[in-house]
Amino acid sequence: MPELRKDPILGRWIIIAKERGKRPTDFIVEQSSSKGGFCPLCPGNEKTTPPEVLSYGDANHMPNTPGWTLRVVPNKYPALVIEGELDKEGEGIYDKMNGIGAHEVIIESPNHDEAFAQLPPLRLIHVLQAFRDRTIDLGRDPRFKYVMVFKNFGKAAGASLEHSHSQLVALPIVPRMVVSEIDGSLSYYKYKERCIFCDIIRQELKLEERVVCQNDYFLTITPYAPRSPFEMWILPKKHNSSYITQSDESFQALAAIFSESMRRLNGCIPNVPYNFVLHAAPLRSEPLEHYHWHFEIMPKLTQIAGFEWGSGFYINPTPPEDAARFLREAKV
């Protein structure tokens, strides 16, 4: 079973994936490996993945057979495992818990070469609703505190499979990054009695210089202090801390702005590798007046090197005002 270990100085948790148990030689081989032609995510190869937990498609298609347009399956090589009791213990001055969690793959399309940004509107809505539906389902398990939804696109951004897919990991603790955002926005709220994200939205809509695109429900901006060139955030205009309580009609608008944002990014830098993540209030949280769910989209264009590791500072060679202008002017 994987193990969760806490750095005693920073309180940062690490997943030790013992099962993967990599030896030095594994890394040497990996550096020179090349990809084969077989795709376990393509229709017809359903038996090579664990059985699906959700699928959309033809009304009369059978589970784990072709006919689906979206499919969610457990990750065959999960970072955390779903079976077992959550057990916390100490090891001298250290703390650990066993690696209970869920790790699922959202196969976004039956077509191997269809990128996220090219999905037809209805199918993109399904992907975004699958994020919601799986989060709701996993949220019923009291062992889990957070479901992290994310996507890796392109080898440089950590994708090991070409076929368009995103992932989610259900975690027994709220991740540090989300805790920091919630704490940071709470400090602001205590002082101002307003949501800092709502204030950001107001200021950005007024200034316009960092606005990439918008519709009635959503706004895409390049944030004021982006870690990466062309980093974008997608925010709901109306305050809401919880992704899973978004109204059904808002998903159409979310799919539209997500698709437009990604096509603008591709218009600037074709086929750019990227990651996106969904940040929202923890599972079973009451509605938070100070926190606001959002997607963060991080193109992989700069190296994270010693300075960034050591300091937590990032160096970004493209001011977000320039990036927003390029994105607005991109051909879509």
Q: How many residues contact its own copies, by CB under 8 A?
A: 90
- Neighbouring CB atoms inside 10 A of 234's CB total 23
Among 1, 22, 245, 247, binds its own copies (CB under 8 A): 22
Cβ distance to its own copies smaller for residue 68 or 291: 291
Cβ distance to its own copies smaller for residue 12 or 47: 12
139-198 residues near its own copies, rule: CB under 8 A: 148, 150-152, 157-159, 167, 169, 171, 175-178, 180-181, 184-185, 188, 196-197
165 catalytic per annotation: yes
32-61 residues near its own copies, rule: CB under 8 A: none
Among 53, 136, 205, 268, binds its own copies (CB under 8 A): 268
The least distance separating its own copies from the CB of residue 224, rounded to whole angstroms, comes to: 5
Question: CA distances (Å), 297 to each of 123, 234, 241, 277, in order?
Answer: 20, 8, 18, 7
Among 244, 277, 285, 289, binds its own copies (CB under 8 A): 277
Cβ distance to its own copies smaller for residue 43 or 138: 138
Among 107, 138, 272, 288, binds its own copies (CB under 8 A): 272
Phi, psi of 270 (to 5 degrees): -55, 135
The one segment of 18-26, 105-113, 124-132, 235-243 that binds its own copies by CB under 8 A: 18-26
In the three-class reduction of DSSP (H, G, I as helix; E, B as strand; rest coil), residue 151 is classed as strand
The least distance separating its own copies from the CB of residue 4, rounded to whole angstroms, comes to: 9
The one segment of 14-22, 123-131, 244-252, 281-289 that binds its own copies by CB under 8 A: 14-22
> 103, 163, 165, 292: which one is catalytic?
165
**How does DSSP assign 18-31, residue by residue?**
GGG---HHHHHHHH
Distance between CA atoms of residues 311 and 54, nearest Å: 42
- Altogether, the residues listed in the chain come to a count of 332
Cβ distance to its own copies smaller for residue 60 or 271: 271
Among 10, 83, 113, 331, binds its own copies (CB under 8 A): 10
201-260 residues near its own copies, rule: CB under 8 A: 203, 207, 223-227, 229-230
Question: CA distances (Å), 244 to each of 8, 128, 138, 232, 240, in order?
Answer: 33, 10, 12, 21, 10
Residues 6+ apart with CB under 8 A from 328: 211, 212, 213, 264
Among 200, 255, 256, 283, binds its own copies (CB under 8 A): 200
**How does DSSP assign 174-221, residue by residue?**
--HHHHHHHHHHHHHHHHHSS-HHHHHHHHHHHH-TTEEEE-SSEEEE
Distance between CA atoms of residues 7 and 95, nearest Å: 8
**How does DSSP assign 209-273, residue by residue?**
TTEEEE-SSEEEE--SS-SSTT-EEEEESS--S-GGG--HHHHHHHHHHHHHHHHHHHHHSTT--
270 binds its own copies (CB under 8 A): yes
Per-residue x/- track, 75-104, its own copies (CB under 8 A): ----x-----------xxxx----------
The residue with tokens 């957070």 is 146
The answer to whether the beta carbons of residues 248 and 131 sit under 8 Å apart is no
The one segment of 9-17, 130-138, 235-243, 250-258 that binds its own copies by CB under 8 A: 9-17
Among 240, 275, 282, 288, binds its own copies (CB under 8 A): 275
Residues annotated catalytic, as ranges? 165
